[in-house]
Amino acid sequence: MITSLDNKILLAHLLRRAGFGCTYDQIEKLSLMEYDDVVDLLINPEYGPPKDQDLLDRYFIASVEARTARHADPQWTWRLAKSEKQLEEKIALFWHGLLAVGGIKLDHGLAMLEEIDLFRKYGLGKFETLLLKISEDPGMMYWLDNQNSHKDAPNENYGRELLELFSMGIDENGEGSYTEDDVKTAARAFTGWASRPTPPPFFLGPFPMEFSFDKSDHDNTEKTFLGEKGNFNGNDIVNMIATHPSTAKFICKRLYLYFVSEKEDWDEINKLSEVFLKNNGEIKKVLEAMFKSEHFKSDDIRFKKVKSPSDLVFGVSRLVDKYKIPDLDSAELAINTLLMGQFLMNPPSVEGWHEGEEWIDSGSLIERINYASTEISNTSSTGVKRIIEIIKETNITNSNDLINNTLETLGYIDITDKTKGMIEEHLRKNKFTNKEDKILDVLKLIVSTPDFQYC
């Protein structure tokens, strides 16, 4: 039997993985619903601009005509920190890391924002639609040199990454379900797909990029792809690979690694692959099966995944509920993820980011601890005030009670007994002038622990 407390613990876990976490009060509110109903709510966001879009544009006018990824930051970070449609942003971040376009080479913040929005709009739908849309994305075409792919001289860059990194994948031996000839055929099928030239941004700022198809530069001859013959174009290639069993396994593996665990569990991945194939590659169906599975809810999964810099920064900013309307601080949130190793809208390569333990080194760990402890100590933040208020209201008779209540108020988070013992020891050795100082000290200690780096 699932108790009310169990339900809250599971909801907190779900929101940390399917989003960036939420406050104690938000969990209380959600706990009036069944867990499965919350999953259904998360996987069905209504697409549209945030209600504060006009304010973002007014206060950060340079992000409206974002010439670079850095100029575009205020637009995305606000939604990462504030959007109530958490999975919409989390899945956008997932696809941004998988169908990766590098902001430095593209050097077009407007195009990056368009791409992120494409992930919001199509990222939970059919994978085939998403793959087709990203193949028509002018930023992607430019990033992978497809404007240099001509019918008489195809450039294989997009065709290769489409198969190797975006859909079918390769195994640990470097082998895929496709051949080198399939890569060449895919490249031929995408000839003529490019981005329309835009004026340089150096005197009037950027102009929106647009997809263009040049029929005269498209290879319109018969091709052989994955053993089939036909006069295939890019749409046909996408159609043939989008629901291929190899694609199902590759995409479900990546979804599993991102949302569930850094350790591949092929029994679980295979189950998800079956859901993918049965539902024509509908991503939300895969996520529904994933989040509702007992495996996802198990103790083996909870607090075993390293938070990405975005998980940490936007999780903390949501926890402390610092921002009511866009301001200079919210506009610069991406600086924090950058210092922790994640340059939003500029993944390091077409492979995206290497996640898991690779996020942590001595430098990034210090940034993580400093950021979290600074924010949780800021008693002017609405969320910090509320956390202190909730803890003060509870019946606390000893240090153990204080620590447990604080963990619960921070979103039902877990720390090891060893860590708990160290905090108790600290509380024993130090005297506090008032209850609030003691609570603040415990808050700072908890967010500075290694345990807090996991979700």
276 contact partners, CB below 8 Å, separation of at least 6 = 127, 243, 248, 251, 252, 282, 285, 286
CB of 180 to another protein, least distance (A): 34
Is 332 an interacting residue with respect to another protein (CB under 8 A)? Answer: yes
Q: Nearer to another protein by C-beta: 200 or 421?
A: 200
Q: Among 80, 106, 186, 331, which residue interacts with another protein (rule: CB under 8 A)? A: 331
Tell me which stretch binds another protein (CB under 8 A): 18-26, 62-70, 240-248, 261-269: 62-70
Give yes or no for a contact between 245 and 277, defined as CB atoms under 8 angstroms apart.
yes
Q: Nearer to another protein by C-beta: 197 or 245?
A: 197
Q: Nearer to another protein by C-beta: 198 or 374?
A: 198
Number of C-beta neighbours around residue 249 at 10 A? 21
Pairwise CA distance, residues 30 & 37, whole Å: 10
Q: Nearer to another protein by C-beta: 103 or 123?
A: 103
CB of 208 to another protein, least distance (A): 9
CB of 56 to another protein, least distance (A): 12
Is 213 an interacting residue with respect to another protein (CB under 8 A)? Answer: no
Would you tell me the crossing angle of helices 35-43 and 283-292 to the nearest 10 degrees?
160
Type of residue at 311: D
Give yes or no for a contact between 76 and 88, defined as CB atoms under 8 angstroms apart.
no
Of residues 310-329, which lie at the interface with another protein (CB under 8 A)? 325, 327-328
Q: Among 25, 40, 50, 62, which residue interacts with another protein (rule: CB under 8 A)? A: 62
Q: Nearer to another protein by C-beta: 2 or 61?
A: 61
CB-side exposure of 320: number of CA atoms within 13 Å? Answer: 24
Is 61 an interacting residue with respect to another protein (CB under 8 A)? Answer: yes
CB of 344 to another protein, least distance (A): 13
Number of C-beta neighbours around residue 164 at 10 A? 18
Tell me which stretch binds another protein (CB under 8 A): 36-44, 67-75, 302-310, 372-380: 67-75
Pairwise CA distance, residues 90 & 315, whole Å: 11
Pairwise CA distance, residues 250 & 260, whole Å: 15
Rg (CA), the chain: 24
CB of 77 to another protein, least distance (A): 11
Q: Nearer to another protein by C-beta: 330 or 409?
A: 330
Q: Nearer to another protein by C-beta: 74 or 352?
A: 74
C-alpha distance from residue 156 to each of 159, 191, 210, 226 (Å): 5, 10, 22, 16
Q: Enumerate long-range contacts of 81-85, CB under 8 Å, 24 or more apart.
A: 81/314, 81/317, 81/318, 81/323, 81/330, 81/333, 82/50, 82/52, 82/318, 82/323, 82/330, 83/50, 85/45, 85/46
Tell me which stretch binds another protein (CB under 8 A): 9-17, 25-33, 42-50, 57-65: 57-65
Number of C-beta neighbours around residue 431 at 10 A? 8
- What is the total count of residues that contact another protein (CB under 8 A)? 32
Is 211 an interacting residue with respect to another protein (CB under 8 A)? Answer: no
Type of residue at 90: K
Instruction: Compute the CA torsion angle 229, 234, 235, 236 (nearest 10 deg).
Output: 10
Q: Among 8, 13, 17, 71, which residue interacts with another protein (rule: CB under 8 A)? A: 71
CB of 443 to another protein, least distance (A): 26
Give yes or no for a contact between 123 and 87, defined as CB atoms under 8 angstroms apart.
no
CB of 78 to another protein, least distance (A): 12
Q: Nearer to another protein by C-beta: 71 or 284?
A: 71
Tell me which stretch binds another protein (CB under 8 A): 65-73, 84-92, 227-235, 312-320: 65-73
User: Which positions lie near another protein, rule CB under 8 A?
Assistant: 54-55, 57-65, 70-71, 73-74, 196-205, 207, 325, 327-328, 331-332, 335
